[in-house]
Amino acid sequence: MAPKDFENKVALVTGAGSGIGREAARAFASRGAIVVAADLNEGGLAATRDLIAELGGRVLTAPMDVSSEAQVRELIARIDKDLGRLDVAFNNAGITGQAHRIEDYPTEDFDRVISVNLKSVFLGMKHQIPLLRRTGGGAIVNTASVAALTGPGGMSAYAASKHGVHGLTRVAAMENAAHGLRINALAPGWTETPMVKEASAQNPGFAELATSAIPAKRGALPSEIAAAAVWLASEASSYVMGQMLVVDGGMTIGG
């Protein structure tokens, strides 16, 4: 049985309607948290809600767009009004965007990826930090990627957004370390979620090639990445601040 170390704590998870976010929402709920599951995808959120209900966990769903400041502000105000506190925020929603060389990358698509992956983390933290601090501190975990450390060809917007998440995380950690609020980033490698399955379907053979190049010879299960997010949000990592935890089956070991 999972320890109940998040009992009565409020954990906000974005991108909770699929993949890593769904597994993290389940993991926080199984450890006693009241989960606020946010996502654009209402069907995905309903499925996450049902999975958490099966565990006997507590969850509120919030259909919203993480790149809209009005919607982020409204969500945090609702958490404050209905639950009175915030202890954990896992800013995880993201998209890959298209694959094109920089000279061919449509500028509006570049803007969209930056907005969903990077501006959302800024907006999330901007509105989460005052509530987290007012209600006793806690932890923020932001999802970056191994693309925060590398320059995957064709993925300029994605890599730039994830490098940006790493930088924002460090600044936020520095600003809040003395205030009982720890902020870290998580850098997953290849993870078997719908995001990756979609990309592989567009490029047959790529998944096999990519996973055979990973030292572990397989992609991660979403639950393996979620476990690292929960650890970063838990008291077990109480002295870890401003770091980016790479969870990639050894993908980046060789440089």
- Is 18 a binder of ligand NAD (CB under 6 A)? yes
CB hemisphere CA count around 157 (13 angstroms) = 23
**Strands 34-39, 88-91: parallel, antiparallel or unpaired by DSSP?**
unpaired
- Is 65 a binder of ligand NAD (CB under 6 A)? yes
**105 is known as an active-site residue:** no
- Is 164 a binder of ligand NAD (CB under 6 A)? no
- Is 143 a binder of ligand NAD (CB under 6 A)? yes
**Count of beta carbons in the 10 Å neighbourhood of residue 83:** 19
**65 residue type, one letter:** D
- Quote the CA–CA distance of 36 and 58 in Å, as a whole number: 9
Catalytic residue among 6, 28, 105, 158: 158
Q: What is the SS3 assignment for 75?
A: helix
Query: Which residues, 79 to 98, sit near ligand NAD by CB under 6 A?
Result: 92-95
Q: How far is the CB of 190 from ligand NAD (least distance, A)?
A: 5
- Is 41 a binder of ligand NAD (CB under 6 A)? yes
User: CB burial class (10 A; 0-12, 13-18, 19+) of residue 217?
Assistant: exposed
- Is 17 a binder of ligand NAD (CB under 6 A)? yes
Listed residue (215, 196, 220) closest to 206, CA to CA: 196
Q: How far is the CB of 1 from ligand NAD (least distance, A)?
A: 26
Task: Just list the catalytic residues.
Answer: 158
Q: Which residues bind ligand NAD (CB under 6 A)?
A: 14-15, 17-21, 39-41, 44, 65-67, 92-95, 116, 143, 145, 188, 190-191, 193-196
